[in-house]
Amino acid sequence: MKKRVGIEALAVAVPRRYVDIEDLARARGVDPAKFTAGLGAKEMAVNDPGEDSVSLAATAAARLIQQQGVDTSKLGMLVVGTETGVDHSKPIASHVHGLLKLPRAMRTFDSQHACYGGTAGLMAAAEWIASGAGAGRSALVVCTDIARYGLKTAGEPTQGGGAVALLVSETPDLLALDVGLNGVSTADVYDFWRPVGRREALVDGHYSITCYLDAMAGAYRGWRERAMEQGLVRWDSKLPSEQLSRILYHVPFCKMARKAHAQVRLCDLEDSGSGPATPEARDEAAKSQASYDAQVAKSLGLNARVGNVYTASLYLALAGQLHAEGAALAGQRMGLLSYGSGSCAEFFSGIVGEKAAERMARADLDTVLAKRERVSVEEYERLMNLPYDAPEAIAPEPGTFRLAEIHEFRRKYAGA
């Protein structure tokens, strides 16, 4: 498995409306600082029933193809990672395949494991290419989700929605993956789940944070062990995690990335055999503001303005990071941590490509976000209360898809 493989380009699609998080806090009688400083949020994407997980996925994938001039005849696989499936049987991937008129000779499927499904899809695609089974073809991996807990729930300020489409190939202009170094950790837990037939997720909020941190510790240690065997990191005056230029985390809410980063550092501090002697001193060193500012903070610009996008949250952080610093990071190794409740965590790494800044400029993320409309809390509540199967008749913006109707359980889409 020595081929160069990874992410060549990406595109982002978000709902066309958002609510300001301070407006939401005031409407709920909560100190706005709890949502801004306490959770790290600024804005929250709000979708209407016409902007379902299929239309967001198809919009992101179509945008990727158009912006980056993708030759679709070279695609051999389409995987959609999602928590927000629309059918027990027919995958979102088949809708996207049809809407984009992709070649027949393609493997298409959905990948589900809460927020981890997109990473499972990325690894299936990357390892398919790296093994040679792809025979030079590329893969599309689309992460799409609508994070929905319901009005006036504890999870409400951590909702959001959108999609990130990734082109995976032997030309990893954005990120060349260190295939085979990944560390993983699985546990059978009920921290966040959505029983069949429910629109809103169920979550044991504080327990879910503990589950995330526990799983990520196992995944990080697994990656670190392999990275040390390969001589990519070592016990040194710098912690192994500090030898990564940046670390991107699954971001259910921005403050979680800060907690996750402290956990990675704690793993290093506990395992180093040197450093602070007492647990209190180790905790203090783990929470280093300087390390968070240098390695994590700049990845969160998009997440803070969109909210949770489950499978896409880590890849929104990747987009935000490369949008902010693509040129400066060229040639440098970053770490990435994916977490899906239920649970599975995976820590992996890759090297930023020389053309990252050029590829990200084509993704035009500032325009994607600037086109959105700020809505009032009343309008957000009206949209949340609309039935999922009766989308309002709104003409799709050019280049986007919308759910037009569901007739006899068949979904029909318009646009692009």
Q: Which residues are catalytic?
A: 83, 115, 250
Those residues whose C-beta lies under 8 Å from the C-beta of residue 89, and which sit 6 or more positions away, are none
Shorter beta-carbon distance to ligand CAA: residue 214 or 405 = 214
205 binds ligand CAA (CB under 6 A): yes
Shorter beta-carbon distance to ligand CAA: residue 108 or 291 = 291
Look at residues 292, 300, 179 and name the one whose alpha carbon lies nearest to residue 241.
292
263 binds ligand CAA (CB under 6 A): no
- Select from 3-11, 36-44, 266-274, 298-306 the region that touches ligand CAA (CB under 6 A): 36-44
* Tokens linked to 172: 């990893």
Instruction: Show contacts of 401-410: CB within 8 Å, 24+ apart.
Output: 401/54, 401/55, 401/58, 401/59, 401/62, 401/99, 402/50, 402/51, 402/55, 403/49, 403/50, 403/51, 403/52, 403/54, 403/55, 404/50
What does the CA dihedral 194, 143, 136, 107 come to, rounded to 10 degrees?
40
- Select from 90-98, 99-107, 202-210, 218-226 the region that touches ligand CAA (CB under 6 A): 202-210
347 binds ligand CAA (CB under 6 A): no
3-class secondary-structure state, position 396: coil
37 binds ligand CAA (CB under 6 A): yes
209 binds ligand CAA (CB under 6 A): yes
81 binds ligand CAA (CB under 6 A): no
Shorter beta-carbon distance to ligand CAA: residue 172 or 252 = 252
- Residue selected from 26, 38, 379, 406 as contacting ligand CAA according to rule CB under 6 A: 38
328 binds ligand CAA (CB under 6 A): no
CB of 363 to ligand CAA, least distance (A): 23
Shorter beta-carbon distance to ligand CAA: residue 113 or 359 = 113
Instruction: Evaluate whether 319 touches 363 at the Cβ level (below 8 Å).
Output: yes
3-class secondary-structure state, position 13: strand
3-class secondary-structure state, position 55: helix
3-class secondary-structure state, position 403: strand
* Tokens linked to 125: 């695609």
187 binds ligand CAA (CB under 6 A): no
Residues lying near ligand CAA in the complex (CB under 6 A) are found at 31, 33-34, 37-39, 115, 154-155, 158, 191-192, 203, 205-206, 208-209, 212, 250, 252-253, 255-256, 308, 310, 339, 341
